Amino acid sequence: MTSSAQRPYRGVFPVAPTIFDANGNLDLDGQRRCVDFMIDAGSHGICILANFSEQFVLTDAERETVMHAVLEHVAGRIPVIVTTTHFSSAECTARSREAQAAGAAMVMIMPPYHGATFRVGEPAIYEFYRVVSDAINIPIMIQDAPVAGTPLSVDFLARMANELANVRYFKIEVPMAANKLRGLIEKGGSVIEGPWDGEEAITLMADLDAGATGAMTGGGYPDGIRQIIDPFLAGRRDEAVQAYARWLPLINYENRQCGLQACKVLMREGGVIKSDAVRHPLQPLHPATRAGLIEIARSLDPVVLRWGR
C-alpha cells in the first residue's frame, strides 16, 4: 500500500534502526513498535535499511524481511524510503524494483563504492543511476555522504536531475553541506524536488537557511526535530533558531559521541524496544557515554523516553 502523502515530500524523515534481540536476531515485534513510536513522535516519513539501520550487517534475506515487515506494518500511514544501495547496477535495480513493488515511496542510493579504493568515475556513476531510474517510477534520493568517498559535484548532480527522470531528491551530508545545497538549488532549479539535510541534523539550521526542505536524522527524537523544521518552513525562523539551540546539545552528542546507537539506547530507555543490541563487531556504548546521552535527553523530555512507559 502506498502512502497518502503527496510529493514533494517535506519535513522530518528519520532513519529507523534495525531492531535485534539480545542474541543478535531480528526482533520484528520490536521493529514494529519502533515504527509506531516514530510515527507517534511526529515523523513525516521514515527511511529504512540505511547505514544508521546497520544495513551492512544484514543478509539479503534479512533485508527483505525487514523491508516487508515495515512496509506492511506502516500500511500507508506515512511514506517509507527504502535504501537500496549496492555496487552492482543490476542488484541495486533489483532491490529498487522490489522496494517499489512492496510499497516504498522512494529509494535512497549512494554512488557505487566498495571498501576504501573501489570507485567508478562520473560516466559510470551516471549510467548506474540511469539504469535504476529507467527501471522504476518512484523517486530516487542520491545520498551524498563522505562514507562513499566519491566526489559528486554540484554540476554533476544537477545534470543527473535534469536528465534522469526519477533522480529528484538529494541528501547532502558532506562538509560545507549548506553551500552545496545552495549551489544545487541554483543550478538545478525546479527539478531539485527535495534538497535535504542529513548527518543527524548537526548542520540543520544552516541547511534550512540554504533551502533544505527535508531532514533525514536519527530516529530517536523526531518530535524535537519537528520543533525546528516546522516553524522554519512556516516562516517563523526566530522560533526555529531557538528550538535548534535547545536541541543542539543532544544532536551534537548523538553525532559526535554515539552515532547509530543513540536511537536504540533512547528507545530502550523509554520502553519502546527491549534490547538496544548492535551486531558484532559493533560494540555497546560505554556506560558513561550512555548515561550522558540519557541525561541530556531527559532535560528535553522527548517522546521516546515516555512512549513505552
Round to whole Å and give the CA distance between 204 and 201.
5
Chain centroid, CA 241 distance in Å? 22
| Catalytic member of 171, 180, 187, 264 | 171
Q: Residue 244 class from Cβ within 10 Å (0-12 exposed, 13-18 middle, 19+ buried)?
A: buried
Which DSSP string corresponds to 256-294?
IIITTHHHHHHHHHTTS-S-----TTS-PPPHHHHHHHH
User: Which of helix, strand or coil describes residue 106?
Assistant: strand
Catalytic (active site) residue 171: yes
Main-chain dihedrals φ then ψ at residue 9, nearest 5 degrees: -75, 135
**Measured between alpha carbons, how far is 224 from 222 in angstroms, rounded to an integer?**
5
Grid-cell match 543542539, residue found: 248
Q: Please answer whether residues 113 and 87 qualify as being in contact, where contact means their C-beta atoms are separated by less than 8 angstroms.
A: yes
108 is in an annotated binding site: no
- Residues annotated within the binding site for pyruvate are 216
> Could you list the active site residues?
171
**Which residues are known binding-site members?**
216
